[in-house]
Amino acid sequence: MRHGCFLATLTLAIATLTGCYAPDGGFMPGSGRGYTYQSTSMSPLTISVTDTRTEEAFFVMELPPGKQLTFNFLQGGGDDPVYTPDRMIYAVWDNGTAMGHLDNQITCPPASCRRINVDIRKAPVWPEPDPAVRLRTDQEADRPAYATPKGGTMPDPKKKNYDN
């Protein structure tokens, strides 16, 4: 019985310590657990973090549709003990990514001197088309060989065909 209680307690402790990034805060939302903003075609976001002492943005990112910005602030480790004593770590991932390593960082003002601004750009903004997917048209030159009067071999039905 003791062993089972210990494992349950350990599992709960690990679950609360590991980072889960989600726009709603994840499993246990809190102010120190990081921030996640998702950009979509109908709601393209620009995220900026401003130093309230100077009202200048020290970080600005226009997120493309389908991407999310996840960031967190770490106390200490900055390059100036007064103006930028803290660090901001961040990463840009595909929307819906809940776990990962925040592998970029910049120094930033202390918590009492920073503000997060979220602006929605003019919509819709469509993502770049995937070059691997060929656009299908009704032009004879764009038809596969088997669909022309000249004829050709049919594609293998077991393979995925990404022609639209």
Residue 26's nearest CA partner among 12, 14, 41, 15 is 15
Position 15 scores a pLDDT of: 47
pLDDT digits (tens, 9 = 90+) for 140-160: 777 777 777 888 888 777 776
Residue 163, pLDDT above cutoff 60: no
Where do the DSSP E strands lie in the chain? 35-38, 45-51, 56-62, 67-74, 86-94, 104-108, 114-120
Residue 49, pLDDT above cutoff 90: yes
pTM above 0.85, yes or no: no
Position 16 scores a pLDDT of: 46
Residue 117, pLDDT above cutoff 60: yes
| More confident: 84 or 34 | 84
Whole-number Cα distances in Å, 64 to 16, 46, 47, 121, 131: 31, 9, 11, 10, 17
Share of the chain above pLDDT 90, in %: 53
Q: Across residues 94-111, what is the average pLDDT?
A: 93
Position 99 scores a pLDDT of: 87
If phi over 0 gives left and psi between -120 and 50 gives alpha, with beta otherwise, what is residue 95? beta
The Cα 164–Cα 162 span in angstroms is 6
3-class DSSP assignment, residue 7: helix
pLDDT digits (tens, 9 = 90+) for 79-93: 999 999 999 999 999
The Cα 11–Cα 9 span in angstroms is 5
| More confident: 60 or 12 | 60
